[in-house]
Amino acid sequence: MLSVRINSAGYNESEKILNNISFDAESGKLILIGGHSGSGKTTLLFAITGVLTSLLKGWADGKVIYRSTDILKLDEPLSFSGKIFGFVLQDPDRQLLMPTPFDEVMFTLENFGFEESEAKKKTENLLETFGLKKKMFEHVENLSGGEKRRLSLASAIAHDPPIIIFDEPTASLDPWGINDVRNFIASEIRMGKSIIVVEHKVKYFIDMASELIVLGKNSDTTYFKDITISPEFLEKLDSLGVDSYPVSETKKKKDENRREKILEMRGVECWYDESDYILRNIDLDLRRGEVVALVGPNGSGKTTLLKTIAGFHKKYSGEIKIYAERKNVKPFYVPQVPDYLFIKNTLKEELEFLSKKTGKRKDELIALLDFYESRKNSSPYTLSLGQRRWLSAVIAWSYEPSIVLFDEPTVGLDKFMLFDFFSNVIKLKEKGTSFLISTHDPRVLSEIADRAYATYNGSIKEVDPIDEAKKLETISGVSHGA
């Protein structure tokens, strides 16, 4: 059993992020942790594993005990915690080190002393388990976000640790991948492993959890034990800003106004290697002031399609036409990795630069970031994933482009940030901005999408947003009742 008693913790002495958090992670049990973006969920995981006090030079007061060893009192905690924990980070791009999936898993196993022949066999088995065997020698940079997530999972658990920690495991995963993670966790629980999951979308794991811990914005922590899923329980979670409900029919106004086209694709085909086409014969339309969702399995070409429209992917044929009245005709692409849009050393400098480039007043930009005052002197790269994701969206909106291409924009957003994101998209849509959003998030489909396209096996077809949202959640394991 892992016994966690964190009195307080932070990254510097003047900044306390965690306050009085305690739980026991028992064998064969799952501890589920939710809460606001920036409430300290990832910091808690860093404190537990010793990463906070060693690699990140932070501090933690309390005890983290595994089999009589207090990790917080060790001079070199990582040498101990590395053996007992499998840690799947929030952002796979910050976890993956080697050029190919095969190299990544082999590197982990060889570091733990596995013989080469045994490590090779185990690597191939793990990559097959996580659907990556066909891409084991593909360069990691050519993998989709969801495929990188699968690889980070395979690498983290390769040495068969007794405790597995997941930080936002559903981020960027398609519903098939989410279902695979659920099944994997269920299997590990049956084998007696201790599981700790940090997740904004707790609905994917609430039925498996023995305890739910919700971290609040002001260091308030709410504990739920002996969980019974009921309308009252879900309503309580909803009041805490935790996303626990499955998607449902919404009252969003259907846009019957067939506005003029702003983007038209006809017969587009995309490839990296001409012997292996990613997309074939793609026809897609986007109209002025319209939100269109793009869904499909990991690796089906959604990101490639967005990059092609944005002009970053050059290996394509066919016709792409953009019609725009505004000055900013070129589509603004917001990548899956929000860090790619940051160029300054602090959040304050980032907004000052953005203000000069776009002509937006700085106070207008600050008003869009409720975490600005507490993090203005921090590097934008040290913000939580949800905060970095939100900042990347603000950067895009500030340039007022005719078309915004979002790649998984809701990953890492808590419920409040999510609906603020939806609200801003709707406001801009009403002013004529068009959005093409690649997503695995059923809430995008049910709440803001006017239309949707699904990619599969290199082709694309138009689908009903609500039907597709329910289909995605059903595949991932979320029940919609009778």
Residue 480, pLDDT score = 44
Instruction: Locate the domains of the chain by residue range.
Output: 2-239, 261-331+401-476
Residues 417 and 406: beta-carbon distance below 8 Å: no
Gap between the Cα atoms of 332 and 435, Å rounded: 10
Gap between the Cα atoms of 403 and 91, Å rounded: 27
Return all residues near 350 (Cβ < 8 A) that are at least 6 apart: 342, 343, 344, 380, 391
Q: Which CATH architecture has domain 261-331+401-476?
A: 3-Layer(aba) Sandwich (3.40)
- Cross-sheet strand order for the sheet of 261-273: 276-287, 261-273, 316-322
Residue 249, pLDDT score = 56
3-class DSSP state for residue 389? helix
Candidates 172, 411, 149; CA nearest to 302 is: 172
Residue 482, pLDDT score = 35
CATH fold, domain 2-239, is: Rossmann fold (3.40.50)
Candidates 60, 62, 38; CA nearest to 51 is: 60
Residue 226, pLDDT score = 86
Q: CA-CA distances (angstroms) from residue 277 to 262, 301, 319, 474?
A: 26, 10, 16, 30
* Bridge partners, 165 (sequence order): 87, 196
Return all residues near 470 (Cβ < 8 A) that are at least 6 apart: 246, 247, 442, 480
Gap between the Cα atoms of 336 and 346, Å rounded: 21
> How confident is the prediction along the chain (482 residues), in pLDDT tens digits per residue?
999 999 999 988 777 889 999 999 999 999 999 998 888 999 999 999 999 999 999 999 999 999 999 999 999 999 999 999 999 998 888 899 999 999 999 999 999 999 999 999 999 999 998 889 999 999 998 888 889 988 999 999 999 999 999 999 988 788 988 998 899 999 999 999 999 999 988 989 999 999 999 998 777 899 999 888 888 998 999 888 888 888 765 555 556 566 899 999 999 999 988 778 899 999 999 999 999 999 999 889 999 999 999 999 999 999 999 986 655 578 999 999 999 999 999 999 999 999 999 999 999 999 999 999 989 999 999 898 889 999 999 999 999 999 999 999 999 898 889 999 999 999 999 999 999 999 999 999 999 999 999 998 899 999 999 999 999 989 988 764 43
Distance of CA 238 to the CA centre of its chain: 20
Look up residue 254 and give its DSSP letter: P
Length of the chain equals: 482
Residues 299 and 357: beta-carbon distance below 8 Å: no
* Bridge partners, 284 (sequence order): 265
- Classify strands 18-25 and 2-10 as parallel, antiparallel or unpaired: antiparallel
Return all residues near 13 (Cβ < 8 A) that are at least 6 apart: 59
Residue 83, pLDDT score = 93
